[in-house]
């Protein structure tokens, strides 16, 4: 049967759709389309460079397999970026927190520890950008009248750094209120923030076209502000004349109140409604602030209708902002909603390495491992730990070692470990007892000779974790369990490893206890 390239691609996408979470499909694949077939190559357009790299990398082999099967011969896929021809994609979906899944048969890439690969601006082209994008340069915009300099300005000649007053030739970044440390190359991508980072790159590449607004939510100190600033920097790198403004929702409100009091609401409105990229941080602050919401609603609409990009952050998802008007919540959900989770161990290590490198301090692996295991709640906490450790080391004039780190971070750790094993060093016995507790049996049961299943499973898990966390010898481990010999111990450890491979639920349970112990 003859198929046009686009019919063929439709069939490929239908197959892919059934093997992917809907939101992954809509985010990455629904905006693609096939433009032609030459020899054994199928040419596929995507809406941005970022999509091209991501789709090629994550879905390419799986999609090529499907296409080959449909055609009955091997074919390759060649992806091209074509912002104008690819279907502009305006999803109205909430992205699940997890990493985008892969097609059946495609191996999931290992969790990236470094900067996101899509950050390479291979085509910083104005051609695909400002020529056709609705974002305007200041020259084309209506000149502002009487903009009070206290607003986060955005253009070198008009911006006002709130701290320093208006500076005619100031760096647009400071005028925009951007922190110069919050750039993409300082942002470590891990499984916890992969989608948020991906979406931010895509927005920086093609503002107001793919995800508008971009709504990033998550707990404190997880990198929301950092990411939104990174988009601002990247857009200013590519288009120095764009007007970028960063403002916290709280500051937006204070400025509004001030404008009302001084009769300058006109200037306030003009200011915020002529921005090309508006970054509004911590919009959960708007809960129950009705008149600020009202004003923000109109600002939002004006910018959105003019094709300007808006990025919002919050500590909660839009639907969990009960004191915010429904019409505003629904606008928050128009574009893309992504969350950031606390970093996992690997990401914490990668972040610590990166921070040490960026700040030119030497932290050896052991110290990094210690901090990564001790500080688990946020990136800010990791940063705090490094600062504290360095201060401690310079006060005491001692080298940074694990011992020093333990002493320096003692206070931090105790508070963290309220439900942990009391801040003391882990021992084989404490691991055994905590595993017993997690499995709901008495610790003595694990030392006994009894071999009922309710005891053998936690016993084996405890042996496995003692090996993993403390690397004790098999003989020493056997001793903790009433003097079992080393072959029993090795058998137990292998059994747990096998079971973890085969049973995801069991593996999660073991990992959970492990996380708790390693804190
Ligand atoms: P939030 O806005 O979510 O409360 P921030 O963006 O202020 O968090 O981040 C807190 C601190 O942690 C900042 O100094 C930021 O640079 C840093 N940070 C957060 N996430 C990362 C990351 N993935 N890589 C590097 N630094 C990060
Ligand atoms: Mg923040």
Residue 35's alpha-carbon distances to 12, 41, 46, 57, 144, in angstroms, are 14, 11, 10, 20, 44
211 alpha carbon to ligand 1 midpoint, in Å?
22
226 alpha carbon to ligand 2 midpoint, in Å?
7
357 alpha carbon to ligand 1 midpoint, in Å?
16
Q: Answer for the pair 26, 83: CB distance below 8 angstroms, yes or no.
A: no
359 alpha carbon to ligand 1 midpoint, in Å?
15
Measured from the Cα of 193, ligand 1's closest atom is 23
pLDDT band at 172 (very low <50, low <70, confident <90, very high): low
Does the pLDDT value for residue 126 go beyond 80? no
CA–CA distance, 455 with 371 (Å, rounded to integer): 34
Point out the ligand nearest to the CA of residue 223: 1
277 alpha carbon to ligand 2 midpoint, in Å?
17
pLDDT of residue 318: 95
- Across 315-378, the runs of DSSP E, i.e. the strands, are 336-340
CA-angle at 5, arms to 78 and 3, nearest 5°: 140
Q: Which residues line ligand 1 (CB under 6 A)?
A: 182, 186-188, 193, 218, 220-226, 351, 379-380, 383
For a mutational test of ligand 1's pocket, the pick from 111, 112, 226, 282, i.e. the residue with the most ligand atoms closer than 8 A to its C-beta, is 226
Measured from the Cα of 343, ligand 1's closest atom is 23
Measured from the Cα of 227, ligand 1's closest atom is 6
pLDDT band at 232 (very low <50, low <70, confident <90, very high): very high
CA–CA distance, 148 with 143 (Å, rounded to integer): 13
Q: Is 360 exposed, middle or buried (0-12, 13-18, 19+ CB in 10 A)?
A: exposed
CA–CA distance, 208 with 311 (Å, rounded to integer): 10
332 alpha carbon to ligand 1 midpoint, in Å?
22
Asked, as a colleague might, if the bond just before 213 is cis with ω within 30 of 0, I would say: yes
CA–CA distance, 217 with 317 (Å, rounded to integer): 6
Q: Answer for the pair 182, 280: CB distance below 8 angstroms, yes or no.
A: no
Measured from the Cα of 181, ligand 1's closest atom is 16
Atom 18, ligand 1: residue with shortest CA distance = 223
CA–CA distance, 164 with 100 (Å, rounded to integer): 43
Does the pLDDT value for residue 105 go beyond 60? no
The radius of gyration computed from the CA coordinates of the chain, to the nearest angstrom, equals 27
Measured from the Cα of 229, ligand 1's closest atom is 6
For a mutational test of ligand 1's pocket, the pick from 181, 191, 222, 343, i.e. the residue with the most ligand atoms closer than 8 A to its C-beta, is 222
In the block, residue with structure tokens 């003009």 = 270
For a mutational test of ligand 1's pocket, the pick from 186, 233, 379, 385, i.e. the residue with the most ligand atoms closer than 8 A to its C-beta, is 379
Residue 335's closest CA among 314, 316, 309, 315? 309
In the block, residue with structure tokens 């011969």 = 73
Point out the ligand nearest to the CA of residue 182: 1
pLDDT of residue 92: 30
Which whole number is the average pLDDT over 291-309? 95
358 alpha carbon to ligand 1 midpoint, in Å?
14
409 alpha carbon to ligand 2 midpoint, in Å?
24
220 alpha carbon to ligand 1 midpoint, in Å?
9
The packing angle between helices 379-396 and 365-374, to 10°, is: 130
Does the pLDDT value for residue 355 go beyond 70? yes
Residue 189's alpha-carbon distances to 29, 165, 282, 312, 425, in angstroms, are 22, 35, 21, 20, 31
Q: Which helix (H) or strand (E) holds 219?
A: none
What's the pLDDT tens digit per position in 319-337? 999 899 999 999 999 999 9
Measured from the Cα of 226, ligand 1's closest atom is 6
Measured from the Cα of 222, ligand 1's closest atom is 3
What's the pLDDT tens digit per position in 343-354? 999 999 999 999
Report DSSP state, residue 212: S
349 alpha carbon to ligand 2 midpoint, in Å?
22
At 483, list the tokens: 């003097």
Which whole number is the average pLDDT over 118-134? 31
Point out the ligand nearest to the CA of residue 355: 1
pTM score: 0.57
Select, from the ranges 22-26, 124-128, 130-134, 198-202, the one with the highest average predicted confidence (pLDDT).
Answer: 198-202
CA–CA distance, 345 with 358 (Å, rounded to integer): 20
- Across 249-405, the runs of DSSP E, i.e. the strands, are 277-281, 309-314, 336-340
Q: Answer for the pair 404, 370: CB distance below 8 angstroms, yes or no.
A: no
C-beta contacts of 198-201 below 8 A and 24+ residues apart: 198/50, 198/54, 198/116, 198/118, 199/27, 199/95, 199/336, 199/338, 200/227, 200/228, 200/230, 200/231, 200/311, 201/50, 201/116, 201/118, 201/119, 201/234
């Amino acid at each position: 049967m003859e198929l046009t390239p686009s019919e063929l691609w439709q069939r490929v996408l239908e197959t892919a759709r059934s093997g992917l979470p809907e939101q992954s499909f809509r985010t990455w694949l629904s905006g693609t389309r096939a433009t032609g077939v030459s020899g054994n190559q199928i040419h596929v357009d995507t809406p941005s460079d970022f999509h091209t790299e991501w789709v090629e990398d994550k879905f390419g082999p799986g999609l090529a397999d499907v296409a080959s099967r449909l055609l009955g011969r091997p074919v390759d896929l060649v992806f091209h970026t074509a912002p104008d021809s690819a279907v502009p994609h305006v999803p109205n979906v909430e992205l699940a927190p997890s990493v985008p899944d892969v097609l059946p048969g495609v191996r999931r890439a290992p969790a990236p520890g470094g900067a996101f690969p899509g950050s390479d601006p291979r085509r910083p082209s104005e051609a695909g950008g400002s020529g056709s994008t609705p974002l305007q340069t200041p020259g084309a915009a209506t000149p502002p009248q009487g903009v009070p300099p206290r607003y986060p300005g955005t253009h070198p000649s008009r911006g006002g750094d709130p701290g320093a007053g208006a500076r005619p030739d100031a760096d647009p970044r400071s005028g925009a209120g951007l922190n110069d440390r919050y750039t993409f190359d300082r942002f470590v991508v891990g499984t916890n923030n992969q989608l948020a980072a991906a979406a931010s790159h895509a927005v920086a590449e093609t503002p107001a076209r793919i995800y508008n607004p971009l709504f990033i939510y998550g707990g404190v100190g997880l990198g929301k502000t950092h990411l939104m600033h990174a988009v601002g920097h990247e857009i200013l790198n590519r288009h120095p004349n764009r007007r970028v403004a960063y403002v916290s929702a709280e500051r937006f409100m204070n400025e509004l109140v001030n404008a009302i009091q001084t009769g300058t609401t006109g200037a306030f409105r003009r200011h915020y409604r002529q921005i090309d990229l508006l970054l509004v941080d911590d919009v959960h602050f708007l809960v129950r602030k009705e008149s600020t919401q009202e004003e923000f609603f109109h600002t939002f609409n004006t910018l959105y209708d003019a094709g300007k990009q808006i990025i919002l952050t919050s500590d909660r998802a839009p639907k969990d902002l009960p004191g915010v008007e429904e019409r505003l919540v629904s606008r928050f959900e128009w574009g893309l909603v992504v969350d950031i989770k606390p970093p996992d161990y690997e990401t914490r290590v990668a972040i610590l390495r990166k921070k040490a490198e960026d700040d030119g301090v030497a932290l050896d692996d052991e110290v990094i491992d210690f901090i990564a295991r001790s500080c688990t709640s946020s990136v800010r906490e990791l940063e705090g730990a490094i600062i504290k450790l360095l201060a401690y080391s310079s006060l005491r004039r001692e080298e940074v070692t694990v011992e020093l780190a333990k002493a320096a971070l003692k206070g931090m750790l105790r508070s963290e470990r309220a439900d942990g094993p009391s801040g003391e060093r882990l021992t084989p016995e404490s691991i055994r007892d905590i595993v017993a507790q997690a499995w709901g049996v008495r610790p003595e049961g694990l030392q006994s000779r009894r071999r009922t299943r309710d005891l053998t499973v936690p016993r084996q898990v405890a042996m496995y974790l003692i090996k993993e966390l403390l690397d004790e010898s098999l003989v020493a481990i056997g001793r903790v369990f009433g003097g079992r010999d080393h072959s029993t111990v090795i058998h137990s450890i292998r059994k747990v490893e096998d079971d973890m491979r085969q049973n995801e639920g069991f593996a999660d349970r073991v990992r959970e206890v492990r996380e708790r112990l390693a804190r």
